[in-house]
Amino acid sequence: NAGVMQNPRHLVRRRGQEARLRCSPMKGHSHVYWYRQLPEEGLKFMVYLQKENIIDESGMPKERFSAEFPKEGPSILRIQQVVRGDSAAYFCASSPGQGRFTMNTEAFFGQGTRLTVV
């Protein structure tokens, strides 16, 4: 009964490199949310996806960031040409159902990927 799995747990990239963060939702969950957390800050919404579809990307920076959730395989958050300001913890959450967050639906979070840009 695995929960939301994120990998890697820690990722170090040099400025200008690409970072790829993976999220495997809980079994039976078809919706994925990505959040970014800076030190001493709350979770900032980035993107909400269902399989093969982006539902809401209003929190994604316009450049360098992209996300996908293919029919098969994990959701990927991709950051191109990383800069020091991208250093943060990136959390993924998944929920079941038809994209609905109701009282019977819980968003479960993974343990996060801590990205450090040097």
Centre a 10 Å sphere on the Cβ of residue 31 and count the other Cβ atoms it contains: 24
Q: Which of 87, 81, 101, 82 is nearest to 36 (CA)?
A: 87
If one asks whether residue 53 binds other proteins (CB under 8 A), the answer comes out as no
Quick one: 44 or 78, whose CB is closer to other proteins? 44
If one asks whether residue 16 binds other proteins (CB under 8 A), the answer comes out as: no
Among 59, 64, 76, 116, binds other proteins (CB under 8 A): 59
Q: How far apart are CA 47 and CA 59, in angstroms?
A: 6
Size of the site for other proteins (CB under 8 A): 28
111 forms part of the interface with other proteins (CB under 8 A) = yes
Length of the chain: 118
Is residue 5 close enough to count as binding other proteins by CB under 8 A? no
